[in-house]
Structure 1
Amino acid sequence: MATPVLVLFTQDLRLHDHPALTTALRSAGPVVPLFVLDPVLLRRAARNRLAYLAEALADLRAGLRDLGGDLVLRRGDTVTETLGLAQEIGACTVHLGAGVSRFAERRLAGLRAAGPAVHVHPGVTVVPAGGITPAGGDHYKVFTPYWRAWEKARWREVLPVPERMELPDGIAPGDLPTSDDLVRGGVGSLAPERRVGGWTRARERLRNWIDQGLADYGDRHDDLSGAATSHLSADLRFGCLSALEVARATRDLPGGDEYVRQLAWRDFHYQVTAAFPDINVRDYRPRDRPWRRDPDALAAWKEGRTGVPIVDAGMRQLLREGFMHNRTRMITASFLTRTLMVHWREGGAHFDAHLVDGDVANDFGNWQWVAGTGNDTRPGRGFNPTRQARRFDPEGTYVRRYVAELAGLPGARVHTPWLEEDGEGAEGYPPPIADPGRG
């Protein structure tokens, strides 16, 4: 019998357009798909992401079994468990997708140091990190020139779902983790209205987005009350959808050019993180800002009780859904870092503890962009929350959806409850903890 080949699944929990799996299946031997539940990652992950992960793994196993194969699950150190399974089945080759985090860097180094042939494949982005570079540099530091190069880059073809595969006899697949099992060791709270994970649901969401939302994206993506964005970020973060397939499916459709630009922003942060993997702990561009320690203000911000309605609506959406509209992410981040002068690491850690779509590259890359320590060419840029609210939630619908205390205030009055007389619809809502017109 030909030698088995291992495929280590990481941020690519799908069957469509899976370069590592497709390449492995071209070998003569049977293919063994593996996912390792590594406690280093699990114990610091958001409960919302862990619940999504459990659902995505169950969906992936079901899909692999439909093809005649299976998903092997192991618990422990990723390198140790991968090498142990390789030795058990006599595999000399490991295929996996590329990553950009410190963990991915150490994982790859550990696998390569142990001796098997390790093949790294694209898949987490449209254009691989490092696939395009500026003259004289290892990565682009500013988005606009990156975008110009990204548009001209040659994209690989989308790969089909495998037709058939078979797991060798004698391998114990391992038990699927339940959501309860995984979330027990996570951080943050479990959002009651979060989206359910898995590649089949992700593909259904993609089809619905293309059919019902994409055409209006250019005009409505900042419309807070309309929630007119794709809501595919978690599916992309876990690789339940291929970013390349999404880009190819949308770029030539009405609204597609604006939407694909957002996928380029995602790629941009990945290539920055590949070059600067400390992006979640250290300033990309040090500014020597006089950050304040203010536990009370930070707690009010986290709980959505700052007294600034658009900020509180965003923070409550995060707790309710494990998601926040991108415009509100910028508003809330700016309020914390620019108005309250609290360090971006505090805000980034809170987002990371609750976002289903949170990852190192995009979560912290965007936090540093807003804080002025990252890749924004205008580091003094701020977001005045009252002005932003009036522009992107002119009727106050978004705020009333999430801030129940203000549900009785009509129209744009909901954005300035501090101007209301006593008994006029803002009872129980706190006064602003900082100037709501700053930013």
Structure 2
Amino acid sequence: MNTVIVWFRNDLRLHDARVLHAALARRPDRLLPVVLHLPTGTVTRWGIPRVGRHRQHWRGAAVRALATQLSALGCPLLECAGSPAEVLPALARAVGADSVWCEAHAAPEEGDEEAALRAAGLDLQVVWQGSLLAPEHLPWPVARLPAHFTAFRQAVEAAGLEPAAALPAPMALPPWPEAARDLHPAAPAPLTEQPANDPRSAFPYAEPAFDGGEPAARAHLAQYLARRLPHTYKATRNALQGIDSSSKFSPWLATGALSPRWIMAELRRFEAKAGANESSYWLWFELLWRDYFRFLHLQHGRRLYRARGLADQPLPPQNADAFAGWCASETGEPLVDAGMRELAATGYLSNRMRQIVASYLIHDLGGDWRAGAAWFEAQLIDYDVYSNHGNWLYIAGRGTDPRGGRRFNPAKQAETYDPDGYYRRQWGSLP
């Protein structure tokens, strides 16, 4: 009997589920879908928890939705606690699985998980599926990825590349292996109390319309297009607040509840019907940035995680007291403190504010960019290892940016994006 395990990582969906489709192509008699909950209580070298309360609840909602969908297909989701190297080999032995399937990752820790499973003797099959474009379809091997995003984008567009079609959700699944019904895996730690919905939030994830699961993700995309918001995206995307100021796709993209290929397919249909403009193009532009950070990981791997990054610069300093004040919204800079309060209260921050607070930590407080990246990892509901790391390197000037980093003057940013002080007052930085 052919039994396979499908391990869901950051692909918590059934639409465009390339790993699942690849596993089903083996025509297994039995299927065991598995998710491993993020460990709670793990602390980074900076003394920061790896997973904060907002991110914990956001991912939990995506897992619940996936579990409901799989149960409706007669193949429930097995939820486990523990490291992949501990849990998955034991599960494979218990159910007699021939192989374990999962999405491929290019970040170091995720890659180490895959290596540990192979070292344990598992037949691990990985499928790359997290990007809009497939690495093998690029105009060059990823080892020769252009050093700057603009050159990457121009080459992609000159080649006329478009993403592969999004795959439909499966209509039926094989049943569980009989032995799985006797399993008693370690249960995940109970969720902390969900934070109350903050009426100031630009992404109120406690509301049903902003639930973390795939159904809400697809409904959000549908209403975003129906209201023709792509036509105004570029004009509003730098706003510091507002639900409709940007697409708000990133939280669902981060957990994989929404596929980038599905977004582009729906956007192309929208443009064919309602017309394309510079703003709708900018959604493609931003998804290409997301791809670029992924391909940089395929190209450079662990080098991106060095203190120096890809640059030949002195090691970054770290002022522990200044960093603590930054985390606690106590820098004394009203715009920065407002942004850090919003992040702590809601788990979300606009792209513009992320750049402002990151720049302030690095360039004004003399902080280590890696500590800032770790704080964002804990706090953000849309934490994505590739984009988070890539953007911090970009601001610090230790990635591939030809301008050697980005420094944002808080006073000028406030004058441009918060001229009446509303945002700062809203988050308690101005009377």
TM-score range, shorter chain: 0.7 to 0.9
Q: Distance in 1 between matches of 2:314 and 2:414?
A: 27
1:319/1:354 contact within 8 Å kept: yes
Change (3 A) 1:149 1:81: farther
Corresponding position: 1:127 with 2:151: no
Q: Distance in 1 between matches of 2:251 and 2:187?
A: 19
Structure 2 counterpart of 1:14: 13
Aligned partner of residue 276 in structure 1, secondary structure = helix
Superposition deviation, residue 267 in structure 1: 1.1
Structure 1 counterpart of 2:253: 236
Q: Which ranges in structure 1 are unaligned for 5 or more consecutive residues? A: 407-425, 427-439
TM normalised by structure 1 equals: 0.82
Q: Which amino acid aligns with 2:70?
A: L
Q: Which amino acid aligns with 2:88?
A: T
Q: Distance in 1 between matches of 2:317 and 2:20?
A: 48
Q: Distance in 1 between matches of 2:214 and 2:311?
A: 39
Structure 1 counterpart of 2:223: 208
Q: Distance in 2 between matches of 1:250 and 1:313?
A: 34
Question: Which deviates more, 237-246 or 161-170?
Answer: 161-170
Q: Which amino acid aligns with 1:171?
A: A
2:32/2:78 contact within 8 Å kept: yes
Structure 2 counterpart of 1:295: 320
Q: Of 200, 219, 237, which aligns to 2:235?
A: 219
Structure 2 counterpart of 1:95: 101
Change (3 A) 1:266 1:204: same
Superposition deviation, residue 354 in structure 1: 0.8
Q: Which amino acid aligns with 1:352?
A: E
Structure 1 counterpart of 2:78: 72
Structure 2 counterpart of 1:259: 283
Q: Which amino acid aligns with 1:218?
A: K
Superposition deviation, residue 347 in structure 1: 1.7
1:273/1:361 contact within 8 Å kept: yes
Q: Distance in 1 between matches of 2:406 and 2:179?
A: 60
Corresponding position: 1:315 with 2:340: yes
1:48/1:191 contact within 8 Å kept: no
Structure 2 counterpart of 1:158: 166
Q: Of 229, 232, 246, which aligns to 2:263?
A: 246
1:150/1:264 contact within 8 Å kept: no
Q: Distance in 2 between matches of 1:41 and 1:250?
A: 40
Structure 1 counterpart of 2:421: 396
2:135/2:142 contact within 8 Å kept: no
Q: Which amino acid aligns with 1:233?
A: S
Aligned residues: 400
Superposition deviation, residue 366 in structure 1: 0.5
Question: Which deviates more, 264-273 or 119-128?
Answer: 119-128
Q: Which amino acid aligns with 2:266?
A: A
- Aligned-pair identity in percent equals 30
Structure 2 counterpart of 1:112: 118
Change (3 A) 1:304 1:114: closer
Aligned partner of residue 137 in structure 1, secondary structure = helix
Superposition deviation, residue 94 in structure 1: 2.0
Aligned partner of residue 180 in structure 2, secondary structure = coil
Change (3 A) 1:363 1:126: same
1:11/1:239 contact within 8 Å kept: yes
Q: Distance in 2 between matches of 1:136 and 1:57?
A: 32
Corresponding position: 1:349 with 2:374: yes
Q: Distance in 2 between matches of 1:388 and 1:358?
A: 24
Render the CA deviation track for 1:293-349: whole Å, top value 9, x for unaligned: 433332332222333222122111111111110011111111111122222122222
1:33/1:72 contact within 8 Å kept: yes
2:231/2:280 contact within 8 Å kept: yes
Superposition deviation, residue 167 in structure 1: 2.1
Matches within 5 A, 1:25-44: 25-28=24-27, 29-37=29-37, 39=39, 44=50
Structure 2 counterpart of 1:423: none
Q: Which ranges in structure 2 are unaligned for 5 or more consecutive residues? A: 44-49, 199-203, 206-210
Superposition deviation, residue 115 in structure 1: 4.2
Q: Distance in 1 between matches of 2:330 and 2:226?
A: 37
Aligned partner of residue 26 in structure 2, secondary structure = coil
Q: Distance in 1 between matches of 2:141 and 2:68?
A: 46
